[in-house]
Amino acid sequence: MNFFQVTSCLTVTCLLLVGVDPADAGGTSYPTENDNLRYSWFVGERTVYRKPDVGEDQVGHLAYGETVIVGEAVKEKPVDDDDYLWNSKWVLVEYRGDKGFMLDAFLSRYPAPDRTELPMLMDEYIGSLSPLVLEKNEGKNDEYCAKRTRHFENGITYMSTDFGPCESCGHIREEIFFPSAAKEEALMMAVYFEYQYESMPPELRSLADNADGTQWVIAYEYGQEIDIQLMEQEEGVLLIKDIFL
């Protein structure tokens, strides 16, 4: 995917803010009957080991979209990949009737996005998870050009604000509240929706004062940057994306 295709996809987000009706947000909410169920968001396979060490025997490989039942975390460990800088943990998992250990860097309580029709924007993914219960669209005022707020049955809240310049795409802020999520999980999901453009993957950078893992930048080679903020709240995580088009 080239620069113009990526820009077109981001422009769709801008156009939605200035008058295009959103698609029907009906769908199936993420599972709640098992709070320990996790989906793999890694595009490929992640190894499940007999013990929490990459030198141990392998139990199997978890494919994209597959699920495991997660137990206790046994130790912290970096992802050990230059593209994925957030922290992860070795966790006990139940996988296809067997037990083992794996790093949780790409595990989420939210189902992995459908990859049959790429690219998928984050707001499209959110709308596919759960029925929409409330939507509010606000027009131009002294602070912004347009604002759209959507509340979903599963507790997710999505707000997109177009700061202009009006009549064109400039600065868009997306604020998404993910119930029950951890900050590393929310960051992983945000990165996924940028890294799906496999022909031109961006770079994830940690800011100098990012000791708590809440301040990041996603930078593309052609100059675009997306600022990421993660705010842990009592019942989940607020993900804030500042997109400069």
Q: Give per-residue pLDDT as tens, 170-203.
A: 889 999 999 999 888 999 999 888 876 556 677 8
Q: Is the pLDDT of residue 109 over 60?
A: yes
- How many structural domains does the chain have? 2
165 and 59 in a common domain: no
Q: Is the pLDDT of residue 217 over 50?
A: yes
219 and 182 in a common domain: yes
Average of per-residue pLDDT values in the chain: 81
| Long-range residue pairs from 35-38, CB within 8 A, at least 24 positions apart, any chain | 35/109, 35/180, 36/69, 36/70, 36/71, 37/67, 37/68, 37/69, 37/70, 37/109, 38/67, 38/68, 38/69, 38/70, 38/93, 38/104, 38/107, 38/108, 38/109
239 and 151 in a common domain: yes
Predicted confidence at residue 81, as pLDDT, reads 54
153 and 224 in a common domain: yes
Which two tokens mark 7?
A: 């820009």
Q: The whole model's pTM is what?
A: 0.80
Peptide bond between residue 52 and the one before it cis (omega within 30 degrees of 0): no
Q: Of the residues 88, 108, 128, which one is the last residue of a structural domain?
A: 108
Predicted confidence at residue 208, as pLDDT, reads 65
Q: How many CB atoms lie within 10 A of CB 54?
A: 13
Q: Is the pLDDT of residue 165 over 80?
A: yes
Domain that holds residue 223: 3-30+116-244
The whole-angstrom separation of Cα 100 and Cα 59 is: 6
Q: Is the pLDDT of residue 226 over 60?
A: yes
Predicted confidence at residue 31, as pLDDT, reads 42
Q: What percent of the chain has pLDDT over 90?
A: 46
Q: Of the residues 67, 87, 108, which one is the last residue of a structural domain?
A: 108
136 and 81 in a common domain: no
Q: Of the residues 89, 108, 127, which one is the last residue of a structural domain?
A: 108
Residue 67's domain is classified under what CATH number?
Answer: 2.30.30.40
76 and 58 in a common domain: yes
Q: Is the pLDDT of residue 92 over 50?
A: yes
Q: Which residue has the higher pLDDT, 28 or 57?
A: 57
226 and 190 in a common domain: yes
Is residue 13 very low, low, confident or very high in pLDDT (cuts 50, 70, 90)? very low
